[in-house]
């Protein structure tokens, strides 16, 4: 046995012991991969020792070859076992960190409720849809034509003073009523039509307990052959009785530029008369503006402020409460 053989065997055994200790002490998968490269990689320590086999005789090489295979197998087995151990440890650590205590009190989040404005709009639209109406909507920024001219507001008509309008720098304006939707819908659709138009409207106004510069309206429009004021009264009565119950209702003569004749509608609520909406037969000039023949078709329209109805139905004393986002107020509904 030559000195080269003895020395090479000693180095292989030392390498095996050193590698086993290093592998056993490793605590991360990244470090374990580094050790695999150090000991078993193409340029690793085992490959370096194999270069010494060239100095051995033909009889000694098989002995070293068998020893090298044994060392390699021992190291591969140790690496694989340590990899499995580290992976299990990693999984267990993750499980421990993600364990849920099902007995712990949950984080409380209040249950959402419908805002009284939304619930009033939904309730009103449900009634009109049940009467055969289609919900229609339009833009909140409008032109003078759709907001005034097409609705029979002439340029010098005194009725324009009824709306203190918010004009924009480009000449457009923020709509003062949802009647604009009626014009747009009639332009695109032939009679018969029945629509309900909900939406936000804007008027220059001082905010107080009963007024707001931004509020909501719902308007209805029906156009067909031989519609009369009696049809309008019947529709309004059905709607109000569905909303308020079997209460007295009265119609008072009024004036709107886009309806003729026109009326205000009151209901008797808690012992007093409350004005709740305006209505009337569509003025023939409005029908002509959208291309309808007033000799063939007639129509009626009605509209109301949602905030006013919501305040009456829910006994709210200040319109500003509807926009306050105060949970103490909203949780009552």
* pTM of the full structure: 0.66
Beta bridge partners of 199: 217
Lookup: tokens for 128: 């009109």
What letter would DSSP give residue 27?
Answer: -
Q: Which of 140, 198, 187, 186 is nearest to 165 (CA)?
A: 140
Q: Which of 282, 301, 302, 281 is nearest to 292 (CA)?
A: 282
How far apart CA 93 and CA 220 sit, in angstroms, is: 65
- Counting DSSP H helices and E strands in the chain, the numbers are 11, 10
Cβ proximity of 158 and 221 under 8 Å: no
Cis peptide before 227 (omega within 30 of 0): no
Dmax (CA) for the chain in angstroms is 128
pLDDT of residue 241: 94
SS3 assignment, position 78? helix
Cβ proximity of 26 and 82 under 8 Å: yes
pLDDT tens for the chain, residues 1 to 333: 566 667 777 777 877 788 788 888 888 888 878 878 877 777 777 777 766 666 666 666 677 677 777 877 887 888 888 888 888 888 888 887 877 777 888 888 877 778 899 999 999 999 999 999 999 999 999 999 999 999 998 777 665 656 578 889 998 999 999 999 999 999 999 999 999 999 999 988 888 888 888 999 999 999 999 999 999 999 999 999 999 999 999 999 999 999 999 999 999 988 889 999 999 999 999 999 999 999 999 999 999 999 999 988 888 888 888 888 888 888 888
Backbone angles phi, psi at 274, to 5 degrees: -120, 130
Domain-by-domain residue ranges, the chain? 3-98, 116-330
User: Sign of the CA dihedral 8, 12, 14, 19?
Assistant: positive
Query: Which positions ≥6 away from 225 have C-beta within 8 Å?
Result: 191, 192, 296, 297, 298
Query: Which positions ≥6 away from 281 have C-beta within 8 Å?
Result: 227, 228, 229, 232, 259, 260, 261, 262, 298, 299, 300
pLDDT of residue 58: 65
pLDDT of residue 107: 83
How far apart CA 110 and CA 131 sit, in angstroms, is: 36
Q: Which of 309, 280, 306 is nearest to 151 (CA)?
A: 280
Domain 116-330 has CATH 3.40.50.360: no
């Amino acid at each position: 046995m030559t000195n080269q053989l003895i020395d090479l065997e000693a180095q292989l055994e030392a390498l095996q012991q050193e590698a086993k200790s290093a592998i056993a002490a490793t605590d991360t998968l990244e470090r374990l991969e580094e050790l695999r490269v150090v000991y078993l990689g193409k340029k690793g320590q085992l490959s370096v020792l194999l270069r010494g086999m060239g100095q051995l005789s033909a009889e000694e090489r098989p002995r070293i070859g068998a020893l090298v295979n044994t060392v390699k197998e021992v190291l591969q087995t140790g690496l694989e076992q340590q990899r499995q151990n580290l992976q299990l440890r990693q999984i267990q650590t993750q499980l421990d960190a993600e364990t849920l205590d099902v007995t712990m009190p949950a984080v409380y989040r209040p249950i959402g409720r419908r805002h009284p404005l939304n619930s009033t709009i939904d309730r009103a639209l449900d009634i009109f849809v049940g009467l055969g109406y289609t919900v229609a909507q339009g833009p909140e920024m409008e032109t003078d034509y759709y907001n005034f001219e097409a609705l029979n507001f002439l340029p010098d008509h005194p009725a324009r003073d009824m709306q203190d309008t918010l004009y924009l720098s480009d000449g457009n304006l923020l709509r003062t009523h949802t009647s604009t939707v009626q014009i747009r819908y009639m332009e695109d659709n032939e009679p018969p039509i029945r629509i309900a138009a909900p939406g936000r409207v804007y008027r220059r106004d001082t905010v107080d307990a009963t007024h707001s510069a931004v509020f909501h309206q719902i308007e209805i429009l029906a156009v067909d052959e031989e519609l009369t004021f009696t049809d309008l009264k019947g529709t309004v009565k059905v709607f109000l009785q569905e909303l308020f119950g079997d209460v007295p209702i009265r119609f008072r003569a009024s004036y709107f530029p886009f309806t003729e004749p026109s009326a205000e509608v009151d209901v008797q609520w808690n012992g007093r008369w409350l004005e709740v909406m305006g209505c009337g037969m569509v003025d023939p000039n409005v029908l002509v503006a959208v291309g309808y023949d007033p000799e063939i078709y007639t129509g009626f329209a009605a509209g109301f402020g949602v905030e006013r109805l919501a305040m009456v139905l829910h006994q709210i004393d200040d319109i500003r409460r509807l926009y306050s986002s105060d949970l103490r107020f909203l949780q009552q509904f």
